[in-house]
Amino acid sequence: MSGTLYVVATPLGNLGDLSPRAAETLRTVVIVAAEDTRRTRPLLTHIGAHARLLSYHAHSAPSRRDALLAALAGGADVALVTDAGTPTISDPGADLIAAARAAGHPVVVVPGPSAVTAALSGAGLPADRYTFLGFLPRKGPDRAARLAEIAASRVTIVLFEAANRLAELLADLAAAAGGAREATVARELTKRHEEFRAGTLDALTGYYAAHEPRGEVTVVVAGAPAPAPQQPDEAALLDEARRLLGQGMTRRDAARRLAEAFGVSRNAAYALVASL
């Protein structure tokens, strides 16, 4: 029988966030494929799991993926984990999942902690729609293009960044999106020194330029405000109203056409038509 590939979310920091289902899965699989075995081994020890640990990261040779697929083909259950949080969310593993599914092996997700959702939950910014962009390119046209995308976005943006580059990122965001744009920096989520700091991009840039951050960082940026509605040209409204009435259209129908064409309320359009 084919083995099952389990995609298991692990704690961001607080071990109490590991779900009973995730713990049981890690205790029963034969192999745990981990982004960094040094980070995962203490977790397995903590829950009394004795699976074989194999490293599987962005720079793993294709032979390591083939070995994991062979283990699945031989009937061994495999768990895929990342250093912290949910696998494949700005972390390696998508290719293994796709290959396992293509080979006919069951893929089961064991959901749990994610820095993206944790930061959104505490940011105080709209999260009904958002875009996750992970780590931005370090420099050059690709970085400039992403910054322009963030500046224009109407929805909330979530980013990851290394602590030592946070002030630079915030300064670049302020330059692209305007220093008044609201944002929240979420740092060391679920850990002892967890911090949520909200403010404008200018204020956050100044703070972190003066207070060097440490630990894991997630940045949540508010979407661009909607542009102010354009007021319709009154002369154009009057001209169109006269034209419609001149065609024999009733005042009611003319008001409806004006409202649709110029984006004014039906009442305002009817009042204008009635004044002629």
At 204, the pLDDT band (50, 70, 90 cuts) reads: very high
Strand boundaries in the chain, DSSP class E? 5-8, 31-34, 52-55, 78-81, 107-110, 130-135, 156-162, 182-187, 195-200, 216-221
Same domain flag for 21 and 37 = yes
Q: What pLDDT is attached to residue 231?
A: 74
List C-alpha distances in Å: 232 to 173, 242, 253.
34, 16, 19
Full domain range(s) for residue 260: 234-274
139 shares a domain with 60: no
Q: Name the DSSP class of 190.
A: T
Predicted local confidence at residue 69, as pLDDT? 97
Query: Does the predicted TM-score (pTM) go above 0.75?
Result: yes
- Domain C-terminal end among 200, 221, 242: 221
pLDDT score of 268: 86
Residue 126's domain is classified under what CATH number? 3.30.950.10
In this structure, what is the dihedral angle of CA atoms 46, 52, 56, 60, given to the nearest 10 degrees?
Answer: 140
Per the structure, the count of domains in the chain is 3
Residue range 136-172, pLDDT digits in tens: 999 999 999 999 999 999 999 999 999 999 999 999 9
Spatial distance between the Cα atoms of 242 and 248, rounded to a whole number of angstroms:
10
Cβ–Cβ under 8 Å, residues 12 and 85: yes
One domain, residues 142 and 103: no
- Residue in 182, 193, 181, 251 with CA at minimum distance from that of residue 217: 193
Mean pLDDT of 100-115: 97
Q: Are residues 12 and 104 in the same domain?
A: yes
Helical ranges in 48-136 per DSSP H: 62-73, 94-102, 115-123
pLDDT score for 229? 65
pLDDT band for position 103 (50/70/90)? very high
Average pLDDT over residues 42-51: 97
In a domain, 155, yes or no: yes
Binning pLDDT at 50, 70 and 90, where does residue 263 land? confident
List, for residues 217-262, the tens digit of each pLDDT value: 999 999 999 876 667 788 888 888 888 888 888 989 999 988 888 8
